[in-house]
A = this chain, B = another copy of it.
Amino acid sequence: MKIGIIGLGLIGGSYARALFPYGYEVYGVDLNEESLNYAKEQGIISEGFTDPKDILKELDVVFLCLYPSQLKDFFKKYIMCFKEGAILSDVGGIKRKVIDAYDLYRRDDIDFVAAHPIAGKEKSGVTESDASIFKDANFIITKTPFNENDSINLIQTLAKQMGFKTVTIMTDKEHDEAISYTSQLTHVLAMALINSDQDKYHTKAIIGDSFRDLTRIANMNELLWSELFLQNKDFLLRSIHEFECALNTIKDAIEAKDIEELQSLMKKATIRRRSLDETKN
């Protein structure tokens, strides 16, 4: 099986690293020759190409590891270059817009299985790639009525081989709703927390792990994340609103010095958080 990785950045490079050991022929496509050379030196791709046309026709599985906004142009330009029967997938954090983009150029003899590997780092580029970020991580496949079960199964198998633990299959809308809470809202909060520092004290000298953990993802790629926020604006604004309601409940309890209510809200949070650490997934 010949696998192509379009876009050898952090995620594309990590996909290559995670798949190469299984004996697949893995080919990389990137505009940046340095990234291709690096990946070849590292032994994580068989060959690299700067022009997708030079290899797409041979690939059985193609992972589009591009920003969501780049996919529409990619489909437009290269849709006719894919091999008959090829299975495509992507890696982005929003799904409705990406599937809409594909639908404009859909081919009946290939299958696009949109997916979201829920893993990353606060750094970018193939030199930061690391297959261990997928270890025991979650993976979402957003199924459409056009997807063949065999294609879904193949992407699921590859995800498991890469180290992902749980694969969830949902619709694009369900994905975008769920992820607006678990991923985009968390980034909004980390940003707001660090941006609300009044700079009166030497923050670094008075923080503990809690502040470090809550702001780790405030170190973010603004090109990618502004796109993810705006492309999922409807659900993200709703998730922010739901967060604000929960925050107001806590604030009201503090203002009223209602210790019982406050403790009950803390107990609720504790029970919910503990359930995330239970071994059973």
User: In the assembled complex, which residues on chain B have CB atoms less than 8 Å from the CB atom of A186?
Assistant: 193, 210-211, 214
B203, A269: Cβ atoms closer than 8 Å: no
B194, A269: Cβ atoms closer than 8 Å: yes
**Chain A residues proximal to chain B, CB less than 8 Å:** 118-120, 137-138, 140, 166, 168, 170, 174, 177-179, 181-183, 185-198, 200-220, 222-223, 225-226, 229-230, 233, 236-237, 239-240, 242-247, 249-251, 254-255, 257, 259, 262-263, 265-270, 272-277, 281
Asked whether A191 and B251 contact (CB < 8 A) given A179-B206, A222-B263, the answer is: no
When C-beta atoms are compared, the residue in chain B nearest to A272 turns out to be B194
A242 to B205, CA, bound (A): 21
User: In the assembled complex, which residues on chain B have CB atoms less than 8 Å from the CB atom of A178?
Assistant: 200-201, 206
B266, A254: Cβ atoms closer than 8 Å: no
Asked whether A220 and B183 contact (CB < 8 A) given A168-B205, A201-B174, A206-B168, the answer is: no
User: In the assembled complex, which residues on chain B have CB atoms less than 8 Å from the CB atom of A266?
Assistant: 191, 220, 222, 225-226
5 additional A-B residue pairs with CB within 8 Å, beyond A118-B206, A193-B246, A244-B247: A140-B206, A192-B243, A195-B249, A213-B214, A220-B270
A180 to B216, CA, bound (A): 19
Shortest distance from the beta carbon of A134 to any chain B beta carbon, whole Å: 11
A197 to B265, CA, bound (A): 13
B192, A208: Cβ atoms closer than 8 Å: no
A103 to B80, CA, bound (A): 81
Contact of A247 among B207, B240, B270, B276 (CB under 8 A): B240
User: In the assembled complex, which residues on chain B have CB atoms less than 8 Å from the CB atom of A255?
Assistant: 233, 237
Shortest distance from the beta carbon of A105 to any chain B beta carbon, whole Å: 25
User: In the assembled complex, which residues on chain B have CB atoms less than 8 Å from the CB atom of A273?
Assistant: 190, 194, 215-216, 218-219
User: In the assembled complex, which residues on chain B have CB atoms less than 8 Å from the CB atom of A246?
Assistant: 191-193, 195-196
Asked whether A217 and B210 contact (CB < 8 A) given A191-B265, A193-B189, A195-B246, the answer is: yes
When C-beta atoms are compared, the residue in chain B nearest to A201 turns out to be B178
